[in-house]
Structure 1
């Protein structure tokens, strides 16, 4: 059992099943401009914010890489896709959120996606009211795998790091939580991580609802 006062959720790939679509959009938008995205490159990018991903693209493709053009095209494709495809919620999300609410455990979302889209997505799947804090990747200086976004979440929730838990699917998210000395649980999505990454977590589960019997509210009087 984990005794906690707060749980911090990633969004893409953890709460919402957006990673397969994201992968398709990244590959398609780059192919349109003559660039190839390998599996290893996509793995490196999962969980990063725009600032971090932009720097990575330029490090791989050079200074002439047309980041903004490809991003604008990808955003157009994303809008067209989700206009006709509703967001798919990951298994167990609603049950876990309701359970944590009943246990009076604070909750936050800390996503590398920019804040405006995070809030829109949470409202779309009708879960925004569960969260005491929502942070987007455009609201912090250093994106995952730096710990900034999780440290900000802990600060906004008003809890100590040892009394919080991060839920992540990506390598960069796990590294970020570990760098911030915040316990992290992995719920794998597209990629099953190597042992050295999983060793940084306090556990790995197949779905969010499996955590209902794992997480309990910490008794501050104990």
Structure 2
């Protein structure tokens, strides 16, 4: 394993910076239950990192031809807002440590998310992070969302860094595939207990939490990846 010097850090949002996925899953389950459909833990977890279009299609397939996806979206959106207003959105443990390490190393950083910009901004505001990312690339600003490489390539361009000099932090298999398709190095911090073996194999490293990533960055930008 050789040392490699990085210039840019690219964060995923859902499940990596913010614990948004639990809020989405809670709203989806409540809305589906109102419509006589039970969403399993396994099914919800399988949607981790997917774009909105993919999520809608898979929900439609799961619910069957009689499942009213429009009604589901209306209900789940209302329940999500209620949940977030009551409980907020938690920042993932270790995020601030990674940000501090990146700043000490003089690394530029960006956010690249499969969420649309309005939703990403709302989530960041709910978590008190609305001023953190000056560079943010969202699904509605590229041709194709993850697992296509577009988001990460656009983020690298915005940072004025070659994608090969960027490190992507991801929690989902979809995100890992996108990062590697873009040509970036990638550390996976799984948001679920059982990480998909294929994604684990694709990632350059797999770490238990963001504190471990912060420790790695303390090497002042020269990383064994």
Give TM-score scaled by structure 1 length.
0.87
Q: SS at the partner of 1:48? A: coil
Q: For 1:195-210, what aligned pairs fall within 5 Å after superposition?
A: 195-210=197-212
Q: Pick from 57, 82, 88: which aligns with 2:84?
A: 82
Residue 62 (structure 1) shift: 5.0
| 1:8-47 residue CA offsets vs partner (Å, 9 max, x unmatched) | 1111111112222222222221222233323443233111
Q: Do the aligned partners of 1:97 and 1:130 also contact (CA within 8 Å) in 2? A: no
Residue 148 (structure 1) shift: 1.8
Counterpart position of 2:164: 162
In structure 2, how many angstroms separate the alpha carbons of the residues matched to 1:155 and 1:79?
A: 34
Counterpart position of 2:17: 15
* Structure 1 pair 127–39 and aligned structure 2 pair: CA distance change class (3 A): closer
In structure 2, how many angstroms separate the alpha carbons of the residues matched to 1:13 and 1:142?
A: 20
Counting matched residue pairs gives 219
Is residue 2:115 matched to residue 1:108? Answer: no
| 1:42-84 residue CA offsets vs partner (Å, 9 max, x unmatched) | 2331111212222333444456542222111111001111111
* Structure 1 pair 102–120 and aligned structure 2 pair: CA distance change class (3 A): farther
Is residue 2:50 matched to residue 1:41? Answer: no
Q: Do the aligned partners of 1:132 and 1:157 also contact (CA within 8 Å) in 2? A: no
Q: Do the aligned partners of 2:84 and 2:126 also contact (CA within 8 Å) in 1? A: no
Q: Do the aligned partners of 1:168 and 1:174 also contact (CA within 8 Å) in 2? A: yes
In structure 1, how many angstroms separate the alpha carbons of the residues matched to 2:97 and 2:53?
A: 34
Residue 217 (structure 1) shift: 5.4
Q: SS at the partner of 1:213? A: helix
* Structure 1 pair 17–52 and aligned structure 2 pair: CA distance change class (3 A): same
Residue 135 (structure 1) shift: 1.9
Counterpart position of 1:188: 190
* 5+ residue gaps, structure 1: none
* 5+ residue gaps, structure 2: none
Counterpart position of 1:130: 132
Q: SS at the partner of 1:129? A: coil
Residue 177 (structure 1) shift: 1.2
